[in-house]
Chain A
């Protein structure tokens, strides 16, 4: 227990890993033992992350719960962990979804159970490491490490075209990450030449150093990092690996892929690209916003044409993650808060959607929309939960998706120009709204085709409704969706500080311009306005309106 006090983050990070190592020593023929132990560690991983809520102080600047140990002194890499508001929500999302994903695999996985759970737990540790690392080298190691278990999860337990999808996923991500490695090394070397040979991979130290890099170098580095993160998000036109990987992966793999893995891309932008390279970010923000809007509309349009349910949801991720990147590159506090919240929402809604497809896939072993119809008759509970999640995903007010999308659009709307570019946020917001409308169209159409009407296919007449385990997977996600939709303030409280810090760093003109317009705030122009939660559920409307 003392370890929990001093090294809480390490405990969270290594709980799944301990489970994986333990499973290694359990004989493979005891499949049920593996299931129990894996679920135990999955749930324990979630439980040990709960003390974070009490220990983490929302609104305090910088990183908390720091841990620093020497790792490779000769190159300056350290084992250093810490969380801020951004990583805090993502860590909780990861532990929660991880536990759910493990639970959801109980009956779906019947072959090579032992390896499956070991890989799933390893993946869990890798992803947590990505969100906690405060050392660029450590971050890179975790970033690469989690590729291997994901590759096997898709490649061994996936459906028909699994080998193709798995290697495609691996190669795409790898190409991005090796370029990122070069960018990291250039940043590391830049720090070294600025500080007379002192070397470190510490993110905060590098953050101070990169600010003074000249703009052309910043732009090169921006592209170096960009590919790694853009492929992961995935941004248009780097999204082509995603439909294959999501469709072929087993249900739990899809949940983790959509729920957590994609967030590693946006997390990378928020943690590294944007704050480290402010000049380059401002230079390219308009381009990133254009690409985001393309992703929103294009992803939605492609969804309309899909015959495979999983493929449809995969493309909907392209569209939804477009909102997240749009919010990031609007570079306004509200856009950033909305983006982080939307990442959380996407993890909940899309994770749940993949679980929902998994439920009927397990019963019918097909994902083709045309195979279904009228499922609400044999499966009423299923229909209810599916409806709530559909509405949450399409951005219905009082559900989580609405809050995130609203904040992003509101943040984008405010943009009157970034850096030297006269990017007008109103147009971006307008096009993004079109994406929401299309989103409602394809999600509701999917729901209608699968759930409503008469049962056309005799195979569907006797489908059993949700069992207890499936309820246990889905209900927490539904509750979370409702909670964030009705009362998001407790979550937004954590996001304000990181969002403001990024804007302060990259786009300080935003605050000064607002201060100039509102004389009342001139008194403290450097201080970003804070305290959305004190006033209302929704973040504060700008005083001018």
Chain B
């Protein structure tokens, strides 16, 4: 059936090529943008964005053709295309499209509208897609570094701003450090398994005793590296500074797509190689999750910079998603997938509102800059409310359904204490999300001007809002979409 499908794609190239076609197309467009950028004058740089969007579109089409595949390995088992990879692939492409739409106006105002921006964004997306499809340590590491290197540059893209440079430097230094630790862990995994293939490593781990020091050291180092990438406590320190310094649309991308990609990596490793030693890490992950929810939700309360506030809130969200892994049931994994899907839209939407506030001469990142938004631009204030409600997890928004699955999986597995913690942390979360809402809805506007919404920004905002409401009121289709990830072989193996 697979052969059949691939031959229908009508590729002249080796058949395996169709499996990485989404990445390849992104790559072609990324390089194409670098070339065409020379031909465009200052005013028509937005063509780069159009080109980037086209790349995302083609890549999406190629990915769509792969949607019915069930676990095809290729390139000597270094990648595997399964529903899990396809699901995450769509997440990255959606996020990339939203970020491109939000970037055009923002970069024009910042006066840093260069083609490299879009090229790097597409390259980062390629890295992410390889992270989701990789079933081999080398592929995974290369994917991770491709993504991370692109983001290092993008974080420092506002060359004239100190905060941007500072954020980039912090990101590079700490990121390189964590990648080193992760590489060290990978080398230990290779030593234990005698192979870089995850399935083979999993067999070797199953044969070892769980108390084996080598096994434990590899677990600790790999976890540290991955937790850094998803910004879980205690490896979260970089997040607020990087989020604050990076161009806001890139902040949205780092907080959403990069996080989703790192979660794909985390799930791949923890649900294959590390699954046999689950008792060793279950409580550790639970502890990291609770610590993330604590630091994230209480840290956000005192923030007055919107981007820092959202950085802390995203640390809190990581805590919720990790709890799905602690539960380790179908509902838990489905919950993580659904949560990430919703998170793409709600967090990007929240950053989109921050982007709207950026104008000539106004940074627009302070919570005070929102004052009186309801009278200046009612639509923006209403959308902000919807995003904040969804982030806090109040029905009928999609954020609630995400939290619902996490809670359900915890109840199913008898983790009542964790469930109570997770549920009660909604209260401080709501408090700081509504601090934002209070500024937009109940404060006097002062002298601030009306924010304008460009067409591209309008499209992105509409998409985010529509998804949050539809997936909140009629979530069935999206739950099933998130549920397709469970059909992946590596998850089937452990859930059986």
- A contact set with B: CB distance below 8 Å: 71-75, 115, 140-141, 144-145, 147-148, 151-152, 155-156, 163, 167, 170-171, 174-175, 178-179, 181-182, 185-186, 188-189
Q: Is the interface of A mostly helix, strand, loop or mixed?
A: helix
- Complex interface residues of chain B between 457 and 486 (CB less than 8 A to chain A): 474-476, 479-480, 483
Q: Is B291 interfacial (CB-CB < 8 Å)?
A: no
Q: Are A170 and B479 in contact (CB under 8 A)?
A: no
Q: What per-residue 1/0 map shows which CB atoms of B175-195 lie under 8 Å from chain A?
A: 000000000000000000000
**Chain A minimum-CB-distance residue to B394:** A144
Q: Are B438 and A141 in contact (CB under 8 A)?
A: no
Q: Are A163 and B395 in contact (CB under 8 A)?
A: no
From the candidates A72, A145, A148, name the one contacting B476 in the complex (CB within 8 A).
A72
Known: A174-B430, A175-B427, A178-B426. A141 touches B420 (CB 8 A): no
Q: Are A167 and B431 in contact (CB under 8 A)?
A: yes
Total A-B pairs in contact (CB under 8 Å)? 74
Q: Are B427 and A174 in contact (CB under 8 A)?
A: yes
Q: Are B430 and A171 in contact (CB under 8 A)?
A: yes
Q: Are A182 and B407 in contact (CB under 8 A)?
A: yes
Count the B residues whose beta carbon is within 8 Å of the partner chain — how many?
A: 30
**What are 5 contact pairs spanning A and B, CB under 8 A?**
A72-B474, A141-B396, A178-B424, A179-B423, A188-B408
Known: A144-B395, A145-B395, A182-B423. A189 touches B408 (CB 8 A): yes
- B contact set with A: CB distance below 8 Å: 374, 389, 394-396, 400, 404, 407-408, 411-412, 416, 419-420, 423-424, 426-427, 430-431, 434, 438, 441-442, 474-476, 479-480, 483
Residues of chain B within 8 A (CB-CB) of A167 are 431, 434, 438
- Docked CA distance A156–B440 (Å): 12
Known: A147-B394, A182-B411. A74 touches B476 (CB 8 A): yes
From the candidates A73, A141, A148, A178, name the one contacting B427 in the complex (CB within 8 A).
A178
Residues of chain B within 8 A (CB-CB) of A178 are 423-424, 426-427
Residues of chain B within 8 A (CB-CB) of A181 are 404, 407, 423
Residues of chain A within 8 A (CB-CB) of B474 are 71-72
Residues of chain A within 8 A (CB-CB) of B424 are 175, 178-179
A171-B427, A181-B423, A189-B408 known, 6 other contacts, Cβ within 8 Å: A141-B396, A151-B434, A175-B424, A178-B426, A188-B408, A189-B412
From the candidates A75, A141, A152, name the one contacting B395 in the complex (CB within 8 A).
A141
Q: Are A163 and B475 in contact (CB under 8 A)?
A: no
- Docked CA distance A181–B423 (Å): 8
- Docked CA distance A174–B420 (Å): 13
Q: Are B389 and A189 in contact (CB under 8 A)?
A: no
Residues of chain B within 8 A (CB-CB) of A140 are 395
- Docked CA distance A186–B407 (Å): 10
- Whole-angstrom distance from the CB of B438 to the nearest CB of chain A? 6
- Whole-angstrom distance from the CB of A194 to the nearest CB of chain B? 14
Q: Are B438 and A155 in contact (CB under 8 A)?
A: yes
**Chain B minimum-CB-distance residue to A156:** B442
Residues of chain B within 8 A (CB-CB) of A148 are 389, 394
Residues of chain A within 8 A (CB-CB) of B426 are 174, 178
- Whole-angstrom distance from the CB of B70 to the nearest CB of chain A? 21
Q: Are A163 and B411 in contact (CB under 8 A)?
A: no
- Docked CA distance A147–B404 (Å): 18
Residues of chain A within 8 A (CB-CB) of B389 are 148
**Residue from A74, A145, A179 with most neighbouring chain B CB atoms (10 Å):** A74
Q: Are B441 and A182 in contact (CB under 8 A)?
A: no
Residues of chain A within 8 A (CB-CB) of B394 are 144-145, 147-148
- Whole-angstrom distance from the CB of A213 to the nearest CB of chain B? 14
Q: Are B442 and A182 in contact (CB under 8 A)?
A: no
From the candidates A73, A156, A185, name the one contacting B407 in the complex (CB within 8 A).
A185
- Docked CA distance A368–B479 (Å): 54
Q: Are A163 and B483 in contact (CB under 8 A)?
A: no
Residues of chain B within 8 A (CB-CB) of A115 are 374
- Docked CA distance A160–B396 (Å): 31
From the candidates B411, B475, B479, name the one contacting A186 in the complex (CB within 8 A).
B411
Residues of chain A within 8 A (CB-CB) of B476 are 71-74
Residues of chain B within 8 A (CB-CB) of A72 are 474-476, 479
Residues of chain B within 8 A (CB-CB) of A171 are 427, 430-431
Residues of chain B within 8 A (CB-CB) of A179 are 420, 423-424
**Chain B minimum-CB-distance residue to A143:** B395
Q: Are A145 and B408 in contact (CB under 8 A)?
A: no
- Docked CA distance A186–B389 (Å): 25
- Whole-angstrom distance from the CB of B390 to the nearest CB of chain A? 12
- Docked CA distance A174–B441 (Å): 21
Residues of chain B within 8 A (CB-CB) of A175 are 424, 427
- Whole-angstrom distance from the CB of B297 to the nearest CB of chain A? 13
Residues of chain A within 8 A (CB-CB) of B404 are 75, 181, 185
From the candidates B396, B400, B408, B431, name the one contacting A185 in the complex (CB within 8 A).
B408
Q: Are B441 and A152 in contact (CB under 8 A)?
A: yes
- Docked CA distance A170–B431 (Å): 9
Q: 5 nearest interchain CB pairs?
A: A178-B423, A141-B395, A185-B411, A74-B479, A72-B476
- Docked CA distance A13–B394 (Å): 20
Residues of chain A within 8 A (CB-CB) of B407 are 181-182, 185
- Docked CA distance A334–B395 (Å): 37
Residues of chain A within 8 A (CB-CB) of B480 are 74
From the candidates A144, A145, A189, name the one contacting B411 in the complex (CB within 8 A).
A189
- Whole-angstrom distance from the CB of B393 to the nearest CB of chain A? 9
Residues of chain B within 8 A (CB-CB) of A145 are 394-396
Residues of chain B within 8 A (CB-CB) of A74 are 476, 479-480, 483
Q: Are B419 and A182 in contact (CB under 8 A)?
A: yes
- Whole-angstrom distance from the CB of A173 to the nearest CB of chain B? 10
**Chain A minimum-CB-distance residue to B396:** A141
- Docked CA distance A163–B411 (Å): 35
Residues of chain B within 8 A (CB-CB) of A151 are 434
- Whole-angstrom distance from the CB of B88 to the nearest CB of chain A? 20
- Docked CA distance A76–B416 (Å): 22
- Docked CA distance A151–B105 (Å): 35
- Docked CA distance A22–B431 (Å): 31
**Chain B minimum-CB-distance residue to A151:** B434
Q: Are A170 and B430 in contact (CB under 8 A)?
A: yes
Residues of chain B within 8 A (CB-CB) of A163 are 438, 442
Residues of chain A within 8 A (CB-CB) of B419 are 182
- Docked CA distance A141–B398 (Å): 12
- Docked CA distance A185–B411 (Å): 7
**Residue from B423, B426, B480 with most neighbouring chain A CB atoms (10 Å):** B423
Residues of chain A within 8 A (CB-CB) of B396 are 141, 145
- Docked CA distance A286–B483 (Å): 46
- Docked CA distance A409–B180 (Å): 74
Residues of chain B within 8 A (CB-CB) of A152 are 441
- Docked CA distance A178–B408 (Å): 12
Q: Are B411 and A170 in contact (CB under 8 A)?
A: no
- Docked CA distance A151–B388 (Å): 14
Residues of chain A within 8 A (CB-CB) of B423 are 178-179, 181-182
**Residue from A155, A167, A185 with most neighbouring chain B CB atoms (10 Å):** A185
